[in-house]
A and B are shown apart, each in its own frame.
Chain A
Amino acid sequence: MALDNTPKRVFKVVGTRPPRPDGVDKVTGRALYGADVSAPGMLTAHILRSPHPHAAIVSIDTSAAEALEGVKAVVTAADFVRQDDGSLRDVLDNCMARDKVLYDGHALAAVAATTPAIAKAALKLIKVTYEALPHVTDVDVAMRVDAPVVQEGRSLETVPDGMSQNVTSHCEFGHGDLAAGFAKADLVVERSFTTAATHQGYIEPHACLASMTADGKADLWCCTQGQYNVRTLCAAMLGMEASQLRVTASEIGGGFGGKTTVFIEPVALALSRKTGRPVKIVMSRDEVFKATGPTVSSSIDVKIGMTRDGRITAAEAHLRYSGGAFPCGTVDMGAQSAFASYDLSAVRTLGWNVLTNRPKEAAYRAPGAPQAIYAVESVVDELCQKLGLDPLDVRLMNAARKGTRSSYGPTFDDIGLIATLEAAKAHPHYVAPLATGQGRGLSAGFWFNFGGNTCVSLNVNTDGTVGITEGNPDIGGSRAAISQMAAEELGIPYDKIRTIIADTSSLGHNDVTDGSRVTFAVGLATIKAAQDAVAKMCSRAARIWGIDEEAVVWVDGAAMPAGPNAGKFPPMTLAEIAAVSFNTGGPIAGHFEFNADGAGVSFGVHLVDVEVDYETGATKVLRYTVFQDAGKAVHPSYVEGQMQGGAVQGIGWALNEEYIYGADGRLQNAGFLDYRVPVASDLPPIETVILEIPNPGHPYGVRGVGETPIVPPLAALSNAVSRAIGTRLNSLPMSPPRILKALSKG
């Protein structure tokens, strides 16, 4: 049959809100997460972590721990295969420190024992001789040439001579003549900002269960955003072939980017290999904060010139990010995204990554963008205030659109920024009256979105139902969205489809669930796999009817004779074709694999009203509205969920969340009591407005939606607070002590 590649705009299932397939399991407590499984003969392991922010490991003596009754094995860095590849070596050195410990909480040994209590007791018997080294945890201090050097010899050639060895990479983006642009401005504002490192704050700590047998085969169960990446990393560290390691992703209790790498998984495998028994590791919350991925901390300068009527003439940003103790490329994404919302003739962004004695950065929802865009949107807001301009009108006047050469290079195709800004302007929230002492802020936000390596199998069962096998852990309802797209394409009801997530031995490679890629890329592969199955079903019908398969079309879930044969035979439904498939050539399946391109960038605009308590310095969020282009919302409830959840994570980042280090280089708030994420009583309803400007790169127009919503809240809150209290804080979070300090100065 001939495939119809014209974009689909009329839908039956896509755009509806069916119940999610994992719903009943999750409301009954039956869903199995990382820590919820056990195995016969299982050992429990605990990890020894450095109390020092920076120290050389002179010696590790594990003999007393090994001698403790109930201890079955101890591992250190010596039990892993040293890696040649720099980024793999960094991941391994982060899982198990080799020569130096680089931050408070850095792992350096692990014990497997018959009970958790024995494993913990054994940790105290490991004798480590440290030679303490000077440490640095602040990004600006770490850039100074006299700063303690976290790791030597890690600077790329892009780093200019004469900088501290802590500066590992440098990047630059932009176009146009900055000097000429600033000369045309009526007002130039230049400000410096800092943002604290924050944690993804998933409620499920990292957990895994590893089992390796004497013949070198291994099974690993873990909570991860990407079982294939876990396999790649662990197989290299353990010296295994990929085929011998089967990784199964458990249900995942939140990730937000933080579960895109490994921490405990190779350790559990090494202990299982050494003991010949299954080994389980579950992190404590303290370990999650100390040793898993916070975001970068940042220090940013932004300079923007504007004419009296609001046109931006030139824009420049210098971004200094620290991804902790290992080289990190997140600053590149900050430098690329900083000015993405604007159509600019002169723009330049420079970025530097800097090593500090902090944990290794892991991705967190739109990594690098919230910090950069916070700084840019704050300066744009200050220009609007000083020039007496409406902040939405100014953004509309300067907005990137189709044909805009983006500040990071590519020219935009169809994008939804202007429609999103216009929706915000037309919304009642924008003109609602504010009481004295209240402030309203807004910010635009952007994320690139990603496609990536994907494959999907779709099996047509003989009873007319369909099974889909895909390889991306579901962190926000993607199984529902994928089943909807398959139902749409096949023309059968949603409840006839069951989508499952494969282990690494059951399906080819799939990239990690990241980059807002799953509904876009896995959805696209699902549509193509469905089309593959449809072609086969049309062929079977043609064979039954004795006509040419090119003369069969698929309409509403059934094969129909077309062209000269139209009406000659009654349509055959999917169920009817499936029922006789064993007699017409065997089982029917569709498959598709590709490296997806065309993800389609995403823009959002957030509006927020706040009120500040002058006695406590606490900021109350009164009203919040999120506007975002989803391309096509496959399951609108879960699109809204992404918008609301991202906004609230951003609110936490803006108002409270931060990694606090003491002068001793130790993390002072490694728990949910002192690292305060937003709770229900902190928040108002989060209103949502979904725009649908179709992505030309997807047959249904889908864009990823997961990451963009965390970008605008930082500046939206900062702009609202500054308008409420009449003074601007250029530092996040705007925690009560910082607000009180700003008020006392103001």
Chain B
Amino acid sequence: MKSIHVSTTVNGDAMEFICAPEDSLLDVLRNRMGLTGAKEGCGTGDCGACSVTLNGRLVCACLVLGAEAEGAAIGTIEGLADGDTLHPLQQSFIDHAALQCGICTPGILVAAKALLDRNPDPTDTEVRYWLAGNLCRCTGYDKIIHAVQDAAHKMRTA
């Protein structure tokens, strides 16, 4: 099958790649662009480890085709920090010990940022429901909720 040429923007940088029609955005990010921060935990949209933003909308990169990135703006975990300054969410996850193995962490951070972009002052329940699509098997989520809320507080009062 004929490959597709795609021009897109990833974390603000113009990027181009060639992909097969069936390649997922996750395949393309990881295998064509070397951006391995988004993880494949299931490939069926059930675990959220591949969470990225597509034109500002939170998506599972494993459920989006690479070809759909044409002309779009993609946001990944690699674009969350501002140079060598961590995003408040990233710092908060370290401060609150909100990660153990860390495999779900990139997806959860991207999802949490998408939440705070829409709702800077969520309740704990809102955080829990927003992150219900991101599986974490290590932490029991408790410290993740604290970390998101503390980051939200710091961002509101900054």
Contact = CB atoms under 8 A, between A and B. Distances in A.
Given A27-B90, A476-B100, A644-B142, A285 B43 contact: yes
Nearest to A33: B103
Contacts of B93: 23, 27
A637 B144 contact: no
A315 to B, nearest CB: 31
A253 to B, nearest CB: 3
A475 B101 contact: yes
A111 B46 CA distance: 28
Given A29-B38, A680-B134, A648 B97 contact: no
Contacts of B128: 680-681, 683
A24 interface: yes
Contacts of B136: 203, 680
B41 A28 contact: no
Given A27-B93, A28-B77, A204-B39, A253 B101 contact: yes
B67 interface: no
B142 A685 contact: yes
Contact of B140 (A28, A31, A647): A647
A165 to B, nearest CB: 36
Interface residues on A, range: 35 or more
Contacts of B105: 26-27
B53 interface: no
B132 A681 contact: yes
A202 interface: yes
The CB with the most chain B CB atoms within 10 A, among A33, A679, A685, is that of A679
- Residue picked from B90, B135, B138, most chain A C-beta under 10 Å: B138
A673 B135 CA distance: 11
Secondary structure at the A interface, as helix, strand, loop or mixed, is loop
B100 A477 contact: yes
A202 B102 contact: no
Contact of A27 (B86, B100, B124): B86
A321 interface: no
B102 A26 contact: yes
Interface in A183-205: 200-205
Nearest to A649: B137
Interface in A241-269: 251-256
B117 interface: no
B138 A685 contact: no
A3 B59 CA distance: 58
A216 B36 CA distance: 31
B117 to A, nearest CB: 18
A284 interface: yes
A117 to B, nearest CB: 7
B20 interface: yes
Nearest to B124: A685
Contacts of B97: 17, 20, 477, 635, 637-638, 640-641
A745 interface: no
B101 A680 contact: no
Interface string A658-695: 00000000000001110001111111011000000000
B94 A681 contact: no
B132 to A, nearest CB: 4
A436 B20 CA distance: 59
A9 interface: no
Contact of B109 (A27, A201, A204, A673): A27
A204 B94 CA distance: 20
Interface in B98-146: 99-106, 109, 124-125, 127-129, 131-145
A673 B103 contact: no
A19 B22 CA distance: 41
A29 B100 CA distance: 14
A590 to B, nearest CB: 29
A645 interface: yes
A94 B39 CA distance: 27
Contacts of A24: 86, 90, 94
Contact of A201 (B132, B134, B137): B137
B36 A29 contact: yes
B68 interface: no
Contacts of B131: 679-681
A203 B140 contact: no
A32 interface: yes
Given A17-B97, A641-B97, A641-B138, A28 B132 contact: no
B49 interface: yes
B39 A285 contact: no
Contact of B41 (A32, A285, A475, A685): A285
B119 to A, nearest CB: 15
Nearest to B104: A203
A677 B137 contact: yes
A254 B137 contact: yes
Given A203-B41, A204-B41, A671-B44, A27 B138 contact: no
Contacts of A253: 39, 41, 101-104
Interface in B15-50: 20, 30-31, 35-44, 46-47, 49
Nearest to B90: A27
Q: Which of B47, B95, B97 has the most chain A CB within a 10 Å cutoff?
A: B97
Interface string B48-73: 01000000000000000000000000
Contacts of B81: 28
Contacts of A27: 80, 86, 90-91, 93-94, 99, 102, 105-106, 109
B47 A644 contact: no
A210 B76 CA distance: 29
Given A476-B100, A648-B141, 11 more contacts: A23-B93, A27-B109, A28-B80, A29-B38, A29-B106, A33-B36, A36-B36, A476-B101, A645-B138, A671-B46, A686-B142
25 contacts: A23-B93, A24-B94, A26-B102, A27-B80, A27-B86, A28-B37, A29-B38, A31-B102, A117-B20, A203-B136, A204-B41, A251-B101, A254-B103, A282-B40, A476-B138, A637-B96, A641-B139, A641-B143, A644-B140, A645-B138, A673-B44, A677-B135, A680-B145, A683-B142, A686-B140
Interface of B: 20, 30-31, 35-44, 46-47, 49, 76-78, 80-81, 86, 90-91, 93-97, 99-106, 109, 124-125, 127-129, 131-145
**Which 9 residue pairs are nearest across A and B when measured between Cβ atoms?**
A29-B37, A253-B103, A26-B102, A648-B140, A637-B97, A644-B140, A672-B46, A29-B77, A23-B94
